[in-house]
Amino acid sequence: MPENTYGKPARPFELWNIGNYETVYWQEKQDEYLGFMLKLYQSQPLTGFRYLHGRKGDRAVHIGPSNAPVTMEEVEKVVIECRANNFNKVDVLGWEWSYEVNELAKTLAKKNGVDLKLVQIPSVNEIKSSLVGFDLQLLKIRDEVVEKELLKYVKFPEVAYLELETKAKEREVTLKITDFQLAPTAELAEIASKVKDSRELIDYWAIDWDYKGDTFHNKWQSFRVKKNPKVDYEARNQYNDSGEYQIMVKVVDVFGNDTNKVLKVKIK
């Protein structure tokens, strides 16, 4: 095909398909959703609790909603239930995270004597790619299939610490990544000595400047390339109308793990 077929050079793009129809179905099958996630996380279900859904070893497990970010209010209720029932360790699993959770959740838990971990649920596509030939909507995948096909591929990484700074001037918003820290792992230890700025561990990040709480629309992105092995740490957006907007940020680290964060901004 001739290089000038389209008249303009092509720009790189990414196709996102987050499988919203599965998460919509899961909303209507809450018990099956919780059971499936606990199975994937290799944990056992708990009964008699409102916010503690399971147990993995000596840690309680809370599964966040499939259709909304985990909020600080939700985390606080989990911590209160842990204290009331003598659980001093808990894993909070989530698909997305409200802005303040990343900064405040562990501090709140520590003050209450609870060791809390924020754990990222893998994307629907990641789960589906390991289950070719199965229908996730059924949420009734046999235990042996989970053990043979899923557990060796699907990982639940601890959520990275992502610090964002936002500035609004008139109708322009500037968003900057000021810090990015990964939880200690063997893989990270191997390359730690080569990393001068922890933000160099970001492979790619994208922004939806007007996130509606359902599908993520990639409105801006920055990724590493050979000639420039660092992403841009700052992005700007001009809004046409005043009002309150919800912004969603997706960050992919060099190990392929996602960190998602949702924040709000007011445009005057």
CATH number of the domain enclosing 177: 2.60.40.10
The whole-angstrom separation of Cα 98 and Cα 248 is 9
Mean pLDDT of 199-208: 96
* Residue 1 reports pLDDT greater than 90: no
Residue 249: left (phi > 0), alpha (psi -120 to 50), or beta?
A: beta
Q: Domain count of the chain?
A: 2
Q: Residues 201, 144: one domain?
A: no
The whole-angstrom separation of Cα 112 and Cα 104 is 13
Q: Residues 139, 195: one domain?
A: no
- What pLDDT is attached to residue 6? 44
- Type of residue numbered 89: K
- Cβ atoms within 10 Å, residue 54: 24
Let me know if residue 111 belongs to a domain. yes
Residue 48: left (phi > 0), alpha (psi -120 to 50), or beta?
A: left
Let me know if residue 31 belongs to a domain. yes
The DSSP secondary structure of 167-184, one letter per residue, reads EEETTEEEEEEEEEEPPP
Q: Residues 253, 139: one domain?
A: no
What are the tens digits of pLDDT across the range 100-131? 888 789 889 999 999 999 999 987 777 777 66
Please state the pTM of the whole predicted model. Answer: 0.71
What is the extent of the structural domain holding 201?
A: 161-267
Q: Residues 172, 251: one domain?
A: yes
